A and B are shown apart, each in its own frame.
Chain A
Amino acid sequence: MADAGAVLPDALPAEAFFGRIAELRRLHREARSLLRGRGRSRAICARAGAGKTELLLQWHGRLFREGEILPLYVAVPETKDAALLADEIAAQIALQALAFARRDPSLLLRPLAPAAVAAGLRPAFGGAGALLVEELSACAAGAPAGSPAAPLLIPHRFALASGMRVAFMLDDAANLGERAGAAPLPARAVASTAAPLLLALEEESDVTHLLGSGAAALATAERLGPLAGEAVRQMARHLARVAGLELGDAAVAALEREAAGSPFYLTALVRALEESGGTGPADVARAAAASVCDGELGRYWFERLAGLLPERGVRATAVEILAYCLREGGDPPQISRLAALMLKDEPAVERALAGLGRAGVVRIDCARVVVDEDQVFRDAALALYRREFEQATPSAVAAACAAAKVRGAGAADRRRALERFRESLGALLLAWNGQRISRLLFDAPAYARRRAATATAAAAAAAGTEGFDGQEAEVLLPRVISVASGRVGAGGTPAGSEMDALAWGVRGEPAAGGEVDVAWIARRIPGGAGSAGQIAAFDRQVAALQAAGELPAAGVVRWAILDAPLDPEGEREAASLRLPTSLHEQLAELAAALGLPVPARPGPQGPQVVPEFELEMIIPRAADAELVAARALEQLAENLGVGSEETGRLKTALVEACINAFEHSGEREGRVRLWFAVAAGKLVIRVENRGRPLAALPAPAAAGEQPRRRGWGLTLIRQLIDEVRIEPREDGVSLVLVQDLGVRPHG
């Protein structure tokens, strides 16, 4: 899961969201008012396609990551039975609340059973959680009958019960009033200062219709205009660059003109692409195939393009696009993702697979089609990918194995290696997805035999067998439903016996009797001396999670990812537990050898963006040392054209971050590293210290608590800065501040 950007599905990653700086800042100010108990309901009105939804999703993501206000986002569908709608709204509220409490956005991707959600709410919120469970049950039972507005009071009641502040976003809110006899929005929900409503509507007239004339005065309505020209230009260039397409200045200008009068910017982009150089459906298909490998951005862009093609009068079905991409030599792993994204309903799946089979492009042998309307269709991807996997040449595998050696032994090296591992493992998991392979690719004896037969003496001498495990058994790699990482504790709470584990693939909730695919859990283990104890500890922690119902009681595939090879006792322990082990370096190399896109490690600026300016400083732990950094920032801000008030906020936030870093530094003569970068219209400041990890830091004061005389630093920072992230590291903490710059007048 990305660290930045929105957390709800279908939202843009941060690096692909352009513009709306002023709107986000207004929402940010509203959030500050809400924290002071002065929340106000409001409405955002704009034409379809102007970007209301994306704005709400981005704000939701920021609030989620900041952790002080519970953000709830509900998109109201057009046609739905009133009782079913009420149940669905209540379920979404409960799931988002649970994800927020656990600080786990991956929960938003999983189709958790209501019973599982309810089981998590009580320990997460205490009495307020019990209230949520009651509301959830009432809506599931269809009470009060026929009223979709009933669950809209849940956030308000929850806020009062918990003392938390809630930002409740209702997208396409006008759909609430489409049913005959539907009551306007509850006045108490509109008037709530602890859980105000943020309605997204197309017309201001919907405000009165929904709220009733008496309540209309309580809400303010803001008209959202089209994206500013510069934002449109940035978006167009960014998307074109991702897709590998040329977009000349004339096309950009045409796009900007069109977008100014008509939202649905991507429609305009496609039109501009076509007009710019005769780009036809073939180019669009190729762009779509290329963009899919770009992870979330690609998926977003492709889905929109695939939807636009019929509108453009282009006869391009899913099968034709896939066939085109394969004929043109597109990478099968990429195309497999393309297929998975496109084929979301069963009849289309069957048609598409049949078409591909007739075309002789791939051998279709998946036995079961699993379709989940909210999830990517993975079996088709598996079927397509298997062809590539079986054709992985021995030399490519050998090259990957030869290159996979542990490098470096320091904490920083291991940290970097772990970060690379997380990304490469995620890509591999999505590709392997249910594969059954005859052996793990790190079979030392077999590798040695191959090397002896084909390699030169020098290469053979350099290769050796260091760093390989000796697994030879047949291994079933699990079916991956979602990819997430995080800290999982027994009982589902971060406290208690924490486990630095990376867990994927749990579908349904075992305790609730839901369907469960293979559950899979991996843990990074240092290896080396004492490996047996590390392996045993991993095994005990999995058992604890199983006992707590976090993992299925049986069928869990455990995988130990090693920093260093196991000692002999560790090897025996792993073998006795039938625990597969691999060096994480090997996984990255393997991904590269098989042509899987291994995402670059995202730095503070994200993988796609190259900073326009960077400055790095190290300041000592000395009186007023932070002032030096503040003066440097002041000069930088002046160079960027930032106004004096904004500069003041930045300086104050930076000073607080430095003081925070000094206070938590574990070193007697602590130093703080600062990194400033300007990229994509944002100023990013990273403040790093070496010292206590995040778990040892005092928790921020909960909303509603009386402020203390001390401990204000982080609160001030969050009030002054658009986006604040705390990134724990092995040897300390990084505090990342991200401020949208936009165009600001000199103040």
Chain B
Amino acid sequence: MASFTFTTHVGGGRAIVRTRGYLSRVAGEQLEREIVRLLDAGERRFVVNLKETDLINSVGISILIGVIERVRGLGGELVFSELTAVNEEIFRIMGLHRHARLVRGDDEAGE
């Protein structure tokens, strides 16, 4: 069984990507490819829901930084939702919160 999977739902003017499992380098690259695909399809507002991802490594996060930059470069926005307390702590240590909002639920992403 793969250690990382995700599902994508597009609607309401945004794309919600829900991850499941360990967000490592490989997983980060998978996520990156998905976001790029959605960007190419014209999506500009993204919510990455990390509720089911309890473990992220710094390499995976570094890939996310690149994804954020790419989205913002095209005038879009990427929001992270439902992080665990530890993952939110890690995001803040690495400064991601300065470049992407961290919200408690997907609904808040639209605010």
Where the two chains meet, the residues of A that have a C-beta atom closer than 8 Å to any C-beta of B are: 32, 623-624, 626-627, 630, 645, 648-649, 651-652, 655-656, 659, 707, 709-710, 712-713, 715-716, 719-720
Evaluate contact between A707 and B94: CB separation under 8 angstroms.
yes
| Nearest 10 A/B pairs, CB to CB | A648-B86, A712-B58, A709-B62, A655-B57, A624-B3, A645-B85, A627-B22, A719-B93, A713-B58, A709-B65
Contacts A648-B86, A707-B94, A707-B95 given; does A630 touch B58 at CB 8 Å: no
Whether the pair A715, B54 counts as a contact (CB closer than 8 A) is: no
* Residue pair B3, A652 in contact (C-beta under 8 Å): no
User: Is the pair B26, A716 in contact by a Cβ cutoff of 8 Å?
Assistant: no
Given contacts A649-B86, A659-B59, A712-B94, contact A623 B26 (CB under 8 A): yes
**B56 interface residue per 8 A CB criterion:** yes
| Alpha-carbon distance A651/B23, docked complex (angstroms) | 13
Chain B residues near A630: list those with CB within 8 A: 22, 55
**Closest-CB distance, B55 to chain A (whole angstroms):** 6
CB nearest neighbor in B for A713: B58
Q: How would residues 86 to 106 of chain B score, 1 for a CB under 8 Å from any chain A CB and 0 otherwise?
A: 110110011100000000000
Besides A627-B55, A645-B84, 20 more A-B contacts (Cβ < 8 Å) are A32-B93, A623-B26, A624-B3, A624-B22, A624-B26, A626-B57, A627-B24, A648-B85, A649-B89, A651-B54, A652-B55, A652-B57, A652-B86, A656-B57, A656-B58, A659-B58, A707-B94, A709-B66, A713-B58, A716-B90
Given A652-B90, A712-B94: A627 and B61 within 8 A (CB)? no
19 contacts between A and B (CB under 8 A): A32-B93, A623-B24, A624-B3, A624-B22, A627-B3, A627-B55, A630-B22, A645-B86, A648-B54, A648-B84, A648-B87, A649-B86, A656-B57, A707-B94, A709-B62, A709-B65, A710-B59, A712-B94, A716-B58
Residues of A within 8 A of B84 (CB): 645, 648
Bound CA span A32–B54, Å: 22
Report A647 CB to chain B, min CB distance, Å.
9
Give complex CA distance A316, B54 in Å.
Answer: 62
One digit per residue, 1 when the CB lies within 8 angstroms of any chain A CB and 0 when it does not, for chain B 12-46 equals 00000000001010100000000000000000000
A713 to B54 alpha-carbon distance, docked (Å): 17
Residue in A648, A659, A710 with the greatest tally of chain B CB atoms within 10 Å: A648
Measured between beta carbons, the chain B residues less than 8 angstroms from A655 are: 55, 57
In whole angstroms, what is the CA distance A630 to B54 when docked?
A: 11
Which B residues are CB-close (under 8 A) to A624?
Answer: 3, 22, 24, 26
Compute how far the CA of A626 lies from the CA of B56 in the bound complex, rounded to whole angstroms.
12
User: In the bound complex, what is the Cα–Cα distance between A715 and B95 (angstroms)?
Assistant: 12
Residues of chain B at the chain A interface (Cβ within 8 Å): 3, 22, 24, 26, 54-59, 61-62, 65-66, 84-87, 89-90, 93-95
> Closest CB-CB distance, B64 to chain A, in whole Å?
10
Q: Which residues from B are CB-within-8-Å of A712?
A: 58, 61-62, 94
Chain B residues, Cβ within 8 Å of A710: 58-59, 62
Cross-chain contact A651 with B58 (CB below 8 angstroms): no
Whole-angstrom distance between the alpha carbons of A29 and B86 in the complex?
A: 14
Which residue on A lies nearest to B24, using beta carbons?
A624
* A residues in contact with B61, CB < 8 Å: 712
CB distance from A34 to the nearest CB of B (A): 13
* Chain A residues positioned under 8 Å from B55 (CB to CB): 627, 630, 648, 651-652, 655
Assembly CA distance A707 to B93 (angstroms): 10
Residues of B within 8 A of A713 (CB): 58
Could you tell me the distance between the alpha carbons of A706 and B3 in the complex, rounded to whole angstroms? 33
Query: Residues of A contacting B65 with CB < 8 Å?
Result: 709
* B57-A659 in contact (CB<8A): yes
Bound complex: CA A108 to CA B57 (Å): 38
C-alpha spacing A219/B55, complex, angstroms: 36
Residue of B nearest to A709 (CB): B62
A627–B26 Cα gap in the complex (Å)? 13
**Shortest Cβ distance from residue A700 to the other chain B in the assembled complex, whole angstroms:** 13
Query: Taking CB as reference atom, which chain B residue is nearest A623?
Result: B26
Bound CA span A529–B65, Å? 54
User: A656 to B25, alpha carbons, bound, how many Å?
Assistant: 12
- The smallest C-beta distance from B80 to any residue of chain A, in angstroms, reads 16
Alpha-carbon separation in the docked complex, A648 to B61 (Å)? 16
Inside 8 A of A627's CB, which chain B residues have their CB?
3, 22, 24, 55
User: Contact at A716–B93, with CB atoms within 8 Å?
Assistant: yes
Which residues from A are CB-within-8-Å of B95? 707
Roughly how many angstroms separate A659 CA and B93 CA in the complex, as a whole number? 18
A656 CB contacts on chain B under 8 angstroms: 57-58
Docked pose: A645 CA to B3 CA in angstroms: 21
Chain B: CB-nearest residue to A658: B57
Provide the bound-state CA to CA distance between A112 and B69, in Å: 53
Question: Which residues on the B side are within 8 Å of A715 (C-beta)?
Answer: 93
Shortest CB–CB separation between residue B79 and chain A, in angstroms?
Answer: 20
Question: Closest CB of chain B to A44's CB: distance in Å?
Answer: 25
> Considering the chains assembled together, what is the distance between the CA atoms of A709 and B67 in angstroms?
12
Residue of B nearest to A717 (CB): B58
Cα of A566 to Cα of B3 in the assembled complex, Å = 56
Least distance between B71 CB and chain A CB atoms (Å): 16
Cα–Cα, bound, A387→B63 (Å):
69
- The CA-CA distance from A716 to B59 in the complex, in Å, is 12
Choose among B3, B62, B86 the residue with the greatest number of A CB atoms under 10 Å from its CB.
B86
Query: How far does the alpha carbon of A715 sit from the alpha carbon of B85 in the complex, in Å?
Result: 18
Do B56 and A716 touch across chains, with their CB atoms under 8 A apart? no
Least CB distance from A37 to B in Å reads 12
A716 CA to B93 CA in the complex, in Å?
Answer: 7
Most A Cβ at <10 Å: residue of B58, B66, B90: B58
Which residues on the B side are within 8 Å of A659 (C-beta)? 57-59
Closest to A646 in B: B86
Cα distance, A715 to B87, chains bound together (Å) = 15
A-side contacts of B54, CB under 8 Å: 648, 651
What residues on B are CB-neighbors of A649 within 8 Å? 86, 89
Closest to A648 in B: B86
Residues of chain B within 8 A of A651, CB atoms compared: 54-55
Q: Chain A contacts of B85 at CB under 8 A?
A: 645, 648
Q: Separation in Å of the A595 CB from the closest CB of chain B?
A: 52
A644–chain B nearest beta-carbon distance, Å: 8
Residues of B with C-beta under 8 A to A623: 24, 26
**Complex Cα gap A672–B87 (Å):** 25
Chain A residue with Cβ nearest B26: A623
A709 CA / B66 CA spacing, docked (Å) = 9
Closest Cβ of chain A to B85, distance in Å, is: 5
CA distance A707 to B96 in the complex (A): 11
Q: How far is the CB of B6 from chain A (nearest CB, A)?
A: 16
Q: Give Cα A651–Cα B22 distance, bound, in whole angstroms.
A: 11
Q: How far is the CA of A714 from the CA of B57 in the complex (A)?
A: 12
CA distance A715 to B94 in the complex (A): 9
- How far, in whole Å, are A174 and B3 apart by their CA atoms in the complex? 57
Tell me, in angstroms, the Cα distance from A32 to B55 when the chains sit together: 21
> Which residues of the partner chain B approach A32 to less than 8 Å between Cβ atoms?
93
Alpha-carbon separation in the docked complex, A659 to B55 (Å): 14
By a CB distance below 8 angstroms, the chain B residues around A716 are 58, 90, 93-94
A645 to B89, CA, bound (A): 10
Q: Which residue on A lies nearest to B57, using beta carbons?
A: A655
Please name the residue on chain A nearest to B69 by beta carbon.
A709
In whole Å, how far is B23's beta carbon from the nearest beta carbon of chain A?
10
> In the complex, which residues of chain B have a beta carbon less than 8 angstroms from the beta carbon of A626?
57
A627 and B53 alpha carbons, distance in the complex (Å) = 13
Q: What's the nearest-Cβ distance from chain B to residue A349, in Å? A: 54
Give the residue among A623, A645, A709, A719 with the most B Cβ atoms within 10 A: A709
